[in-house]
Structure 1
Amino acid sequence: MKTYIMFLFAALLSMHTIAQTPATQTAPSAVKAPEKAKDINLTEVTIVSKKPLIVQEIDKTVVNVEAMISAAASNTMEVLEKTPGISINSNGEISLNGRSGVLVLIDGKNTYMSGQDLAAYLRSLPGGNLDKIELIDNPSAKYDASGNAIINIRLKKNRIGGLTGSVSLGASIGKYARNNDAVNLNYNHKKLNLFANLGYNYEKNYRKDHFDRRFFEEGGALLSTVDLQNNLVYKDRGFNANVGMDYTASAQTVYGFIFNVNKGSRNGMFDYESSDFDAKNQLERTGAGDTKAKDTRTNLGFNFNLQHKFDKKGQELSADINYLNYKSNGNQALQNFTYAPKGALIGQEKFRYIIPAGIDIYTAKADYVHPLKNKARLEAGFKSSIVDNDNVNRFYDVNGAEQTIDNSKSNHFKYHENINAVYLNGQKSWKRLGVQIGLRTENTMVRGRQLGNDEVQGSSFNKNYRGLFPSAYISYKLDTLGNNTLGLMAVRRITRPNYQLLNPFLFYRDQYSYTSGNPMLNPQYQSRIELKYQHKQFLNMGLSYNTFSDLIFQTTEAVNDVFTTRPKNIAGGFMLLLNTTVSTSPAKWWYLNYTARLSKIGMNGRVYTENLHFDVNILRLEINNYFTISPNWGAELGGYYASRDMTGQTLTKGMYRVNGAVQKKIWKGKGSLRVAFDDLFHSWVYNNKSLSLKQSEYFQTSESDSQRISFAMTYRFGKEAFMRKRRHNNNASDEEKGRID
């Protein structure tokens, strides 16, 4: 309890807390028996300040989601989009501090999802379930080597005695309505701690894409143009439950179990209209079509974990065993019509995709920490994972009520992956100097098989590769108080292509657009060296140089008037990045966090028949202001500016958005009412231009339902109490046992 009391008093003083506590009791005499432990209520303590949005730690940046007023009415994907340092492009790909290929963890565990699957999962998870988001630019050898950086999403979990919890109800309105509702429960009694995070979300959204595609002869003369308008409207419903328990078997050993279920359904309507023109801008034909899509998913996860502390000096063993099962069923009905310039129907086709998929994932890991003398310690561990994926695409020609399978356009792809890893990490601290050096080795075995049928010959591939992934970190305190710190770090990482990118199936979008995988993809490697400077929590700067080899790159091939997008490895690239973050309080009622990222990105390779040699300078500016108007009123106002950017063979123009929110605390601070707005001027619109396409180019404008107003109500319940044990008052402090969330 000594640590608890010191922490509580320090927190009360630093946050200028106004509190009413029971009167101080007279100290017992030396001959008097110790008082019996009793509960002391803290319900009268009033906390005026809230958690800071951002806390800069040595190895990561911690974002407290509760400090984001708009989080309660948002889903996790939207919360990430508003998190300083995180960017999300139009395809749902997440980047951290300008680095793409990010590994996303939930409570430290890999989701084994990427791309559209990960985006759908994060959209189904309400922001009210989130506690913290940890941003790790330079992961140590303890973490998986995959990903250029790590984002670890922490769900709410409480260890206060008795039943505690919170409820969050949120709704937002743009062109369409959405809602995100969450319930968090925790029950702690003696050795048992039970917890649950429950969430439900409904989302209706749209996306409009306008394409201007141009095709040229070898000499450069205009050959033809296509004007294409795509419209997508979809509805998503999702339910998420994360239920678990921790059992403290002894003072040294804790066992835990977690069960997670994520269920969702999606209905979408995609339609397009097209116009084809010749070199003289004369209309040659028009087209129209639509796709009606239905998709359901059920994701299950089981986790068993244990933690054993051998002594009080930090010797510790932790272990996890996980099983994940993902199932989805997709059904898409498509139809296309082609018309002559005067409107006569000259062609039509109707077909259907049936797309069931299943994934089984097994993982086991263990981590051991051994303290050494003089502020040193060793960490070691292993991890093994197996992924089995079964993905079926059945193509049917439709004629009235009759459906006939077309095996030449159907596909059955099976993928097996086994990764085994071990690591060793060492740390040593002196008065001002700190060193951490680690090495991780991972061996990857991949087997892919496309099953044949009556019309398609089967094929397969095998890959087996091993990699060494060192990490090193040196920090030096420039003053005795540690207010100014310099850090130098270096890491090597890997980005493995996921099974979707390896599946060679050719998927239809519209008459002019197809997507495909590439079973010949190799993993991408990236190395980084970074110099960091930190002044308290006020200033954080980092200058890094990143190199990439076998860069996984979404390429576009133009054949006649059809664009086919597929991933390929190109020669390589680099990124020079300068990050600067300022966090301060100019006044008692105003806290701000400003981040500027300057980067220079270059790529050098060959895409089909075209050379790709391109450098681009990029600026990202994030502005977040948080205002304490009164003890019960708060507000936030922020903005984000992105200069031009390059993604694949696409150059995107600069754009910006403005967000804000107001909060009113109610029910003695246990509840709140919140109103927020997103993209105030509906300025978050993508304007894209193609790069290095053979005898063609395109211009694209894309927008979605990003301009919204949101409403939310939150409520926290449960008794906040701690146990006190009193000792003789011979200048000894009380010992306390308890934990504060």
Structure 2
Amino acid sequence: MNFFTRSFFIVFLTGLYCAALAQTKAPAIRGKIFTDNNQPAEAATVILFKINTPDTSILRSEFVNQAGLFEFTDLKPGKYLVQASSIGYSKIYSGPYQLAPDQKITTPDIILTQQNHQLQEVKVVARKSYIEVKPGKITLNIQNSVLAEGNSAFDILRQSPGVRVNSNETLSVTGRQAAMIAIDGRPTNLSGDELNSLLRSMQSSTIDQIEVISSPSAKFDASGGGVINIILKKGKNMGTNGSFTAMAGYGKYYKSTAGIVLNHRTKKLNIFGNYTFDANKSARTIATRRSILFDDVLSNYNVDYNNIQTTRNHNFKLGADYSITPKQTIGLLIFGVVRDDDFTKHNNLAISNQGKLDSMVNARSNLDRGSSYLNYNVNYNAVLDSMGQTIAVDANYSSNHRHSNEYITNSFLDAAGNSYSDDLDLENLSPAKIHIWTSKIDYVNPFSKKAKLEAGVKYSHVNSDNNLIFGPRIGDTYQPDERFSNRFLYQETITAGYLNYVNKIGAWDITAGIRAENTHTKGSSWAINQAMPAVNINSYFNLFPQVQVNYEADKKNTIGIGYNRGIHRPLYEDINPFLYYTDLYDYRAGNPNLKPEFTNTIQLSHTYNQTISTQLYFSVTNNAYDFPVYMQNDTTKVNITIRRNFGQIFTYGASFYAPVQITQWWNADFNADAMYVRYKAYASVSNFNRAKQDIILSSTQTFHINSTTTAEIFGRYETPTLYGVNNLKSSYSVNAGIGRQILNKRGNLKLTLMDIFNTDRVRNYAIYQNINLSENSKRDTRIVRLNFSYRFGKSTVKSANKRNTGNDDERRRTGN
């Protein structure tokens, strides 16, 4: 980054800050409202009385914001009285205050006290809809969906509006770039298999909401694929409360889950936690057909892969928040996933020449894989003054340890099924250790109730240590093969800062910000008997601007336009220079020279009545790499799958979401997402330049049979489309479920059947350069589940805090 660009960035931030400070404020009365447990009284009602002679009249009323702040501006000189109230709390008055011309009065903090004698009579009768829509964001209220019950976070996201899942099981929100996954606002810092394992281990019973953010502000880590924020359950009530969940299911094999969520809250201390245990057995089949034409001989390499996987998973969280003063809170949080998987694999390769079976290679293996992901967080939050200035500090450490021990036996058979060579026994060990340190500071300065400046800094450091020990058994001992065995050490440091300006001017809502990130990486690769490692070092500085402007045309119509630039860094496993074994003719390779991809996205949206949403979007991705590319040696017949910076992706899309109330007992949600995507390779890679449509249609039908019984049906269809050099065939599935409230509405019993017609599968084919292959992948998806949940403890409503630890993207890239 040259001197001019850096100077421009500094001048831009300085100018934006000065422009924000330059705002003038009209005469006002302002203050803050807290509850008696030292938390901001979010959504409390504030009424301003003008005290006249001989009577007193209500002048204005409003709700306080999330920080408990209220402000009445443009007042005339006179005497005023402030009244504060909230459901379940006693009404309280502050004042009177004599306001002089051009005077600004800040009231003492107002503390609301609970009406203890009324708490037992308070019942929550309102029910949020499952899906709530705002410009740039869709919120899923998980507990209000029958089909979500008993499912994992990954399964819920697969059928969520605005979320796409490609054949590599990568989640995205806008276009094709991967979304950043956050938990309680904290980046997971995991990716690939580790991220999917984490999402599959998170059961719906522990999730409160999921936010799908298509236009994240500069406060978030730069992500061109949007942000998916999973908000976990946390006790909202004084006293002790919680819930218990148990699930039993069956697909091709058994499924089971049991979990508990607990919370204890006093005026100053909140202790919360949950634990979930899963024991599942599942199956997966992959049929691959590869044709090779070389020297006028057509060879076919056909593989049938069968895998049975047994999983035992422990997911836990334990945390505490302590209110040091009414304006200061410190928190501790530990959460993690301990997972153990056993795989029994059968990989049968049939080799044919000119349509005649030549030979077979049958591989049998047992894989023992276990991982432990642990995350430790310390956080501090403070309100600095009566205007609502806040500061939040987070320090985070996470570790991800994995062992993976596989022993493979290859048998060689002729066309008649007779053995023609001794078995080949192979050892495949791939342990990995990843350590991630992150820290961040976020500052908010509200200039008024409608305008604020947000600023922050973040630091993250990653150490990754990966080993691959691969080789045959010679005699009674396995010997590492120098061509495959390797050790790879990777270090990455990212320093970032952002500035974000938010204001509401009349009917206009404006959010504008910029994020700067400086990245330094070092990869060191040691082959066996290599004295010095091969070292790859990269450093780069990038700016990521973001703008979102919403115009409220009237009370029901909002129009928005947004732009953001994002980055998608490679998975740690994708930059490891390893050659991963699939079978004797099929490998997967890492690429230490892989660079991040960058996406620029523009969105135009319209929201009607905060329910019906329409969006147009366009994005361009440069250095695109997040799809497989094949390198086949026609002589040896060996195919290597690799990631490389292939070229550009152009995406033109439109999405539509609408809830429809058909009758009093029947309502439906309809979602459509249509895009046209073009992949264009760089000239140095190939002349690949193809485009195709991708249309996803989905609908949820909800039937309220009576006050305690609800049924749901969900259907999804995706047209054939393009994913890199692969053509994907259409996919479709239907799910159904019914739920009933029991035990005085504290318990829920839900029965679901996922993928009723057993059609959920991935089918793809590629004709690229000398590659001609097709693949059909099928998981264990037709599953019936019976889920029981029970809530215990107090059920009066109070607000809960949400925090962001700041290590989401790093966790994404480890794969957890």
TM over 0.5: yes
Read off the aligned partner of 1:75 and give its amino acid letter: S
2:151 is aligned with 1:80: no
- Bigger shift: residues 636-645 or 35-44: 35-44
1:116 to 179, 193, 197: 193
2:411 is aligned with 1:337: yes
- Which residue of the partner structure matches residue 159 of structure 1? 236
1:669-692: per-residue Cα shift (whole Å, max 9, x none)? Answer: 110100001110011122211131
Per the TM alignment, residue 301 of structure 1 is displaced from its structure 2 partner at its CA by 1.0
- Which residue of the partner structure matches residue 506 of structure 1? 579
- Which residue of the partner structure matches residue 243 of structure 1? 318
1: CA distance, partners of 2:226 / 2:710: 33
Q: Is the 8 A contact 2:405 2:429 kept in 1?
A: yes
- Which residue of the partner structure matches residue 210 of structure 1? 287
1: CA distance, partners of 2:788 / 2:114: 37
- Which residue of the partner structure matches residue 635 of structure 1? 711
2:350 is aligned with 1:293: no
Compared CA separation, residues 355 and 462, structure 1 to 2 (3 A): same
1:622 to 663, 683, 698: 698
Q: Is the 8 A contact 1:276 1:284 kept in 2?
A: yes
- Which residue of the partner structure matches residue 278 of structure 1? 353
Compared CA separation, residues 181 and 343, structure 1 to 2 (3 A): same
Q: Is the 8 A contact 2:174 2:226 kept in 1?
A: no
Per the TM alignment, residue 457 of structure 1 is displaced from its structure 2 partner at its CA by 6.5
Per the TM alignment, residue 272 of structure 1 is displaced from its structure 2 partner at its CA by 1.4
2:736 to 636, 639, 660: 660
Percent identity between matched residues is 27
Give the match's secondary structure for 2:194. Answer: helix
Compared CA separation, residues 606 and 510, structure 1 to 2 (3 A): farther
Q: How does 1:152-551 map to 2 (within 5 A)?
A: 152-217=229-294, 223-279=298-354, 281-347=355-421, 348-373=423-448, 375-399=450-474, 401-454=476-529, 458-479=533-554, 481=555, 483-551=556-624
Read off the aligned partner of 2:485 and give its amino acid letter: S
- Which residue of the partner structure matches residue 728 of structure 1? none
Per the TM alignment, residue 721 of structure 1 is displaced from its structure 2 partner at its CA by 4.4
2:644 is aligned with 1:568: yes
2:633 is aligned with 1:559: yes
Read off the aligned partner of 2:746 and give its amino acid letter: K
- Which residue of the partner structure matches residue 765 of structure 2? 689
1:22-68: per-residue Cα shift (whole Å, max 9, x none)? Answer: 9xx9x9xxxxxxx9965135555555553211111234211111112
1: CA distance, partners of 2:174 / 2:244: 32
1:454-491: per-residue Cα shift (whole Å, max 9, x none)? Answer: 26973110000000000011111112x2x101101100
- Structure 1, gaps ≥5 residues long: 11-21, 28-34, 723-737
1: CA distance, partners of 2:322 / 2:800: 18
Give the match's secondary structure for 2:236. Answer: coil
Read off the aligned partner of 1:459 and give its amino acid letter: A
Compared CA separation, residues 476 and 226, structure 1 to 2 (3 A): same
Give the match's secondary structure for 1:193. Answer: strand
Per the TM alignment, residue 6 of structure 1 is displaced from its structure 2 partner at its CA by 6.5
Give the match's secondary structure for 1:122. Answer: helix
2:777 to 687, 699, 702: 702
1:598-622: per-residue Cα shift (whole Å, max 9, x none)? Answer: 1000011159874211101111011
Read off the aligned partner of 1:454 and give its amino acid letter: N
Q: How does 1:572-587 map to 2 (within 5 A)?
A: 572-587=648-663
Give the match's secondary structure for 2:205. Answer: helix
- Which residue of the partner structure matches residue 57 of structure 2? none
Read off the aligned partner of 2:171 and give its amino acid letter: I
- Which residue of the partner structure matches residue 132 of structure 1? 209
Q: Is the 8 A contact 1:289 1:336 kept in 2?
A: yes
- Structure 2, gaps ≥5 residues long: 1-34, 36-40, 47-61, 63-86, 93-111, 802-816
Q: Is the 8 A contact 1:41 1:721 kept in 2?
A: no
Give the match's secondary structure for 1:123. Answer: helix
1:67-111: per-residue Cα shift (whole Å, max 9, x none)? Answer: 121333122222222322223344322222543311111111111
Q: Is the 8 A contact 2:612 2:657 kept in 1?
A: yes
2: CA distance, partners of 1:549 / 1:520: 16
Compared CA separation, residues 456 and 120, structure 1 to 2 (3 A): farther
Q: Is the 8 A contact 2:137 2:211 kept in 1?
A: yes
Q: Is the 8 A contact 2:500 2:512 kept in 1?
A: yes
Q: Is the 8 A contact 1:310 1:316 kept in 2?
A: yes
2: CA distance, partners of 1:623 / 1:37: 43
2: CA distance, partners of 1:607 / 1:113: 33
2: CA distance, partners of 1:428 / 1:48: 34
- Bigger shift: residues 65-74 or 570-579: 65-74
TM-score scaled by structure 2? 0.82
Per the TM alignment, residue 147 of structure 1 is displaced from its structure 2 partner at its CA by 4.7
Q: Is the 8 A contact 1:516 1:565 kept in 2?
A: yes
- Bigger shift: residues 551-560 or 243-252: 551-560
Compared CA separation, residues 669 and 463, structure 1 to 2 (3 A): same
Q: Is the 8 A contact 1:125 1:200 kept in 2?
A: no
Q: Is the 8 A contact 2:485 2:527 kept in 1?
A: no
- Bigger shift: residues 586-595 or 178-187: 586-595
2: CA distance, partners of 1:38 / 1:139: 39
- Which residue of the partner structure matches residue 675 of structure 1? 751
Q: Is the 8 A contact 1:42 1:720 kept in 2?
A: no
Q: How does 1:10-25 map to 2 (within 5 A)?
A: none
- Bigger shift: residues 232-241 or 414-423: 232-241
1: CA distance, partners of 2:250 / 2:715: 20
Q: Is the 8 A contact 2:135 2:605 kept in 1?
A: no
1: CA distance, partners of 2:393 / 2:385: 17
Read off the aligned partner of 2:217 and give its amino acid letter: S
1: CA distance, partners of 2:380 / 2:160: 32
Compared CA separation, residues 3 and 357, structure 1 to 2 (3 A): closer
Per the TM alignment, residue 515 of structure 1 is displaced from its structure 2 partner at its CA by 0.4
Q: Is the 8 A contact 1:440 1:468 kept in 2?
A: yes
Give the match's secondary structure for 1:587. Answer: coil
- Which residue of the partner structure matches residue 8 of structure 2? none
Give the match's secondary structure for 1:611. Answer: coil
Compared CA separation, residues 601 and 345, structure 1 to 2 (3 A): same
Per the TM alignment, residue 271 of structure 1 is displaced from its structure 2 partner at its CA by 1.0
Per the TM alignment, residue 494 of structure 1 is displaced from its structure 2 partner at its CA by 0.5
- Which residue of the partner structure matches residue 805 of structure 2? none
Q: Is the 8 A contact 2:224 2:600 kept in 1?
A: no
Q: Is the 8 A contact 1:532 1:540 kept in 2?
A: yes
Read off the aligned partner of 2:179 and give its amino acid letter: V
Read off the aligned partner of 2:641 and give its amino acid letter: T
2: CA distance, partners of 1:178 / 1:608: 49
- Bigger shift: residues 535-544 or 92-101: 92-101
Compared CA separation, residues 664 and 465, structure 1 to 2 (3 A): same
2: CA distance, partners of 1:210 / 1:534: 44
- Bigger shift: residues 159-168 or 36-45: 36-45
1:543-577: per-residue Cα shift (whole Å, max 9, x none)? Answer: 01100111114211111322211100012120001
| RMSD (Å), alpha carbons | 2.4
Q: Is the 8 A contact 2:679 2:724 kept in 1?
A: no
